[in-house]
């Protein structure tokens, strides 16, 4: 390994450390998710983005063996005819539509059939109705199961207070804006309130953000609370973020019967964070060039001194030779 290469490797380690931007330590992030969800399992309530399972309390009828075989053959022929008519129907959907014979599910006056698309998913399996929908409005209402036109089960589905949880953390660059949207499940409760609080650390006492918004009437507030989708205070906007805005922010939705809180950690990134690595690389190159230049100058100076010494010794020898020649002529 040449001396220049060794010097280059020695320079890289400390300069790389200097070039690294200052980041937050990951040890200050809680090991668990700060989001607190409503975990109520009360029957009959549907939550934001949740699934609905209903089991019809039906007792199957016993049929005579002969009649059953004939009916099974008729069912097979009917299934084949339907498959021919609906070639686009997938095998998955065929397997899903396996409700108990004679059992029908209704929502209101409408018969429920198995289907699946991007936003909804309905399955009928034996006595069970499985219903999943992105909209909780489709999950609420009265569901009835009839066995051979006889009502054997009625289910009333209501919407519980529900709030979609925020991401675990958000990152915003200094000087930029950030919006936190607290989404409440539809249909909205008749009487509820939404508020925001924050904590610098998890063990601190929560501070209402309204006090910060109304702290000064002469200047534009740094934190704004806005309405969205008909929900007051649904959005918290951080304008021109500064490092002091790093904190845990919580959305609290409170109704007569329930209280739901969701939260997130907001990190603020230095706006020059991307510049530090570049400056570090430039510093490395400059220092390396200076070291190489100094080494080259020292090597060149040493060569000049060696050449002078060789020239002086050679000149003295030539002078001696000329003198001896003169003495021989005499």
285 lies in a domain? no
pLDDT grade for 16, boundaries at 50, 70 and 90: very low
Q: What is the pLDDT of residues 278-313, one digit of tens each?
A: 778 888 888 888 888 888 888 777 776 666 666 666
84 lies in a domain? yes
Write out the DSSP string of 226-262. Answer: EEETTEEEEEEEE-S--GGG-EEEEEEEEESS-EEEE
Max Cα-Cα span within the chain = 154
Q: How far apart are CA 327 and CA 223, in angstroms?
A: 106
Helix locations, 64-174, DSSP H: 65-85, 91-96
Q: What is the pLDDT of residues 229-259, one digit of tens each?
A: 888 999 999 998 998 999 999 999 988 778 8
Same domain, yes or no, for 202 and 259? yes
Same domain, yes or no, for 216 and 253? yes
126 lies in a domain? yes
> What is the DSSP secondary structure assignment for residue 237, as one 8-state letter?
E
Same domain, yes or no, for 184 and 240? yes
Closest CA to 199 of 253, 234, 246: 246
Same domain, yes or no, for 52 and 87? yes
Q: In what order do the strands lie in the sheet with 223-228?
A: 178-181, 231-238, 223-228
Same domain, yes or no, for 148 and 231? no
Q: How many domains, in total, are found in the chain?
A: 2
184 near 282, Cβ under 8 Å?
Answer: no
Q: What pLDDT shows up at residue 145? A: 92
Q: Where does a domain end: 230, 253, 269?
A: 269
Q: Where does a domain end: 103, 129, 159?
A: 159
Same domain, yes or no, for 149 and 82? yes
* Domain, as residue range, for 109: 45-61+69-159
Same domain, yes or no, for 138 and 213? no
312 lies in a domain? no
Angle at 42 between CA 40 and CA 43, to 5 degrees: 145
pLDDT grade for 39, boundaries at 50, 70 and 90: very low
Please state whether the peptide bond connecting residue 187 to the residue before it is cis, i.e. omega within 30 degrees of 0.
yes
pTM for the model: 0.51
Same domain, yes or no, for 247 and 259? yes
Same domain, yes or no, for 167 and 31? yes
Q: How far apart are CA 121 and CA 53, in angstroms?
A: 12
Same domain, yes or no, for 203 and 153? no
Q: Could you give the 3-state DSSP secondary structure of residue 201?
A: coil
168 lies in a domain? yes
Q: Retrieve residue 92's tokens.
A: 């998955």
H or E segment at 153?
A: strand 150-159
Same domain, yes or no, for 264 and 190? yes
Q: What pLDDT shows up at residue 161? A: 80
Q: Which residues have CB under 8 Å from 195's CB, separation 6+?
A: 208, 209, 210, 233, 251, 252, 254
102 lies in a domain? yes
56 lies in a domain? yes
H or E segment at 46?
A: strand 45-46
196 lies in a domain? yes
Q: How far apart are CA 122 and CA 52, in angstroms?
A: 10
Same domain, yes or no, for 103 and 144? yes
User: What is the CATH number for 86?
Assistant: 2.60.40.10
Spacing of C-alpha 239 from chain mean position: 22
């Amino acid at each position: 390994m040449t001396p220049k290469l060794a010097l280059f490797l020695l320079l890289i380690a400390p300069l790389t450390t200097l070039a690294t931007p200052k980041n937050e330590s990951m040890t200050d992030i809680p090991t668990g998710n700060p989001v607190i969800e409503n975990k109520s399992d009360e029957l009959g309530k549907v939550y934001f983005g949740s699934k609905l399972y209903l089991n019809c309390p039906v007792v199957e009828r016993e049929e005579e063996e002969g009649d059953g075989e004939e009916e099974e053959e008729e069912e097979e022929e009917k299934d084949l005819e339907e498959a021919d008519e609906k070639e686009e129907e997938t095998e998955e959907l065929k397997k899903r539509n396996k409700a108990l014979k004679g059992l029908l599910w209704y929502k209101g006056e409408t018969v429920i059939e198995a289907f699946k698309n991007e936003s909804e998913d309905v399955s009928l399996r034996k006595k069970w109705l499985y219903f999943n929908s992105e909209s909780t409005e489709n999950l609420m209402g009265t569901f009835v199961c009839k066995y051979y036109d006889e009502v054997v089960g009625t289910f009333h589905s209501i919407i519980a207070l529900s709030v979609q949880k925020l991401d675990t953390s958000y990152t915003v660059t200094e000087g930029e804006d950030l919006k936190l949207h607290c989404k409440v499940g539809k249909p909205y409760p008749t009487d509820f309130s939404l508020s925001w609080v924050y904590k610098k650390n998890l063990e601190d006492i929560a501070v209402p953000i309204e006090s910060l918004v109304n702290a000064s009437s002469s200047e534009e507030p740094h934190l704004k609370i806005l309405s969205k989708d008909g929900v007051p205070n649904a959005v918290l906007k951080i304008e021109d973020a500064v490092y002091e805005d790093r904190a845990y922010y919580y959305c609290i939705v409170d109704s007569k019967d329930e209280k739901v809180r969701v939260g997130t950690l907001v990190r603020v990134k230095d706006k020059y964070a991307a510049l530090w690595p570049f400056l570090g690389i430039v510093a490395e190159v400059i220092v390396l060039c200076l070291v190489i230049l100094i080494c080259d100058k020292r090597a060149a100076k040493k060569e000049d001194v060696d050449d002078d010494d060789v020239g002086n010794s050679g000149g003295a020898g030539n002078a001696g030779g000329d003198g001896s020649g003169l003495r021989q002529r005499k």
